[in-house]
Amino acid sequence: MLSPSDWSAIWLTVKLAGLTTLILLVIGTPLAWHLARTRRWWKAPLSAVVALPIVLPPTVIGFYLLITLGPKGPIGQLTDSLGWGTLPFSFTGLLVASVFYSLPFVVQPIQNAFETLDMRLMEAASTLRATPLDAFFSVAIPMARPGFLTASILGFAHTVGEFGVVLMIGGNIPDKTRVVSVQIYDHVEAMEYAQAHWLAGGMVVFSFIVLLLMYTLNRGIRMPKI
């Protein structure tokens, strides 16, 4: 069955995925709104940057994070001079990496929802003397609810499924950076196949339930018709 170190890896993974999703909802929402509404020249390059993690191999991301976040890299020197130390081999480092790695999976569904939003509703809200921010929170966000649901589920699930980046910058430290995917890899390498099965099988079931939840809930929610 599951050992204490397996449970520790599971808890760490849930914590990492949960925090990553939360941070991404906070920074991803304004970003998605901007991308959905802007007609400026930077829309295409910005969209491309957001989508990069979808096409880049995790090894590329891991390699550059290891170099730039390390003590010889620009970001590493910055964090070090601020007294935070360097980020690789730390939970914070994984969090930073995951936020970047899962960014498109949160931004894109929200952006899609914002793009299909009927702007006349926002105008109606402002004729009722709602400030733009007010209208955003009481009209745009509730109407984009399916987008937010998809974004949260994909952001969470994608972070849980992260492996290559964590392997390259995590250093496999128990309770700090040894997440489930790395733990499974360790079990397989050490030929502890029975333990690998418990975790790997659990991941299959988890992923299926998450996706099932997403498709079921999203079918249940209907965009209000005008």
Which residue ranges make up the site for another protein (CB under 8 A)?
Answer: 66-67, 69-72, 85-86, 88-89, 167-169, 171-173, 185-186, 188-191
| 84/106 Cα distance (integer angstroms) | 28
| 50/109 Cα distance (integer angstroms) | 12
Nearer to another protein, 86 or 159 (CB): 86
| 32/36 Cα distance (integer angstroms) | 6
Provide the terminal-to-terminal Cα distance of the chain, rounded to the nearest Å.
Answer: 54
* Minimum CB–partner distance for residue 62 and another protein (Å): 10
| 168/183 Cα distance (integer angstroms) | 14
Nearer to another protein, 121 or 188 (CB): 188
* Minimum CB–partner distance for residue 111 and another protein (Å): 35
Nearer to another protein, 145 or 186 (CB): 186
* Minimum CB–partner distance for residue 128 and another protein (Å): 55
Nearer to another protein, 115 or 175 (CB): 175
| 186/200 Cα distance (integer angstroms) | 12
Tokens 């690789």 map to which residue? 88
Q: Which two tokens stand for residue 151?
A: 């974004």
Nearer to another protein, 88 or 146 (CB): 88
* Minimum CB–partner distance for residue 74 and another protein (Å): 13
| 124/122 Cα distance (integer angstroms) | 5
Return the number of other C-beta atoms located less than 10 Å from residue 72's C-beta: 9
* Minimum CB–partner distance for residue 86 and another protein (Å): 7
* Minimum CB–partner distance for residue 73 and another protein (Å): 8
Instruction: Report, in this order, helix, strand and coil percent for the chain, each rounded to 5.
Output: 75, 0, 25
Nearer to another protein, 72 or 225 (CB): 72
CA neighbor of 178 nearest in space, from 192, 199, 157, 194: 199
Cβ atoms 166, 177 nearer than 8 A: yes
